[in-house]
Amino acid sequence: MQAVAGGVLGRLRRSVADSIRRRGAAGTRGSAGDGDGTGGPGSSGPEVRPPGGRRWPTGGDGVTVHYAPDIDGDADPGEVVWAWVPYEEDPTQGKDRPLLAIGHQDHLVVAVPLSSRSHHDRDDAADWVEVGRGAWDSKGRVSYADTSRLLRFIPSEIRREGAALHEDAFARVVAAVAARHGWHDETSDRR
């Protein structure tokens, strides 16, 4: 019962924090779109600027990126979590694997898969970003994020947390995801 209450409280805390962050971003110089703070037609919504002041891109498909690890039982952006991931070659098969949660799209958690295998000698080497070692790998191996695969999960599909990723490593992954998927920081386009 305590784990259920903790999950509900974590979601409520995040919902309130997101609402406050959205309200705080509206009408400020940090908002996206036409500068009126509403996000404007065709924009991706307001820019998310976390308390640390780092600016995160917003995906054109409505993905909101932010760094907010909170080891509370819920999957938060910046955390390494675990879920069943289908194979690209055969989506009817897959395996339990670590993922880096990078943001949300509506009620879904958006994440990229991690691997302990180096991909430096493969054709898709540019899609893999080294994130270092962490408690998510029991053998202490270096892990790599696959920035080519943006996966979406309902929160109940994510079973456990591994650890929080350092914000600098998270920023490298997000930058590679943004470049790979055509995201950009809309505020940098303004004159």
Tell me which of 133 and 47 has the higher pLDDT: 133
Given this model, what pLDDT does residue 53 score?
60
pLDDT at 98: 95
Beta strand residue intervals within the chain, DSSP E: 64-65, 79-86, 94-105, 108-115, 128-132, 143-146, 151-153, 160-164
List all residues 6 or more positions away from 166 whose beta carbon is below 8 Å from its beta carbon: 132
Give me the amino acid identity at 48: V
CA atoms within 13 A on the CB side of 124: 11
Determine whether domain 2-185 maps to CATH 1.10.260.40. Answer: no
- Count of residues making up the chain: 191
Give per-residue pLDDT as tens, 42-82.
333 333 344 456 777 777 678 999 999 998 889 999 999 99
All structural domains of the chain with their residue ranges: 2-185
Tell me which long-range contacts 6-10 makes (C-beta under 8 A, separation of at least 24).
Answer: 6/72, 6/73, 7/72, 7/73, 7/74, 9/72, 10/70, 10/72, 10/73, 10/74, 10/76
Residue 7's alpha-carbon distances to 1, 35, 114, 122, 156, in angstroms, are 10, 36, 24, 40, 10
- Give the whole-angstrom CA distance, residue 165 versus residue 135: 10
Indicate the burial class of 74 (C-beta count within 10 angstroms; 0-12, 13-18, 19 or more): buried
What pairs with residue 183 in β-bridges?
none
Residues 141-173 pLDDT 10s: 999 999 999 999 999 999 888 799 999 999 999
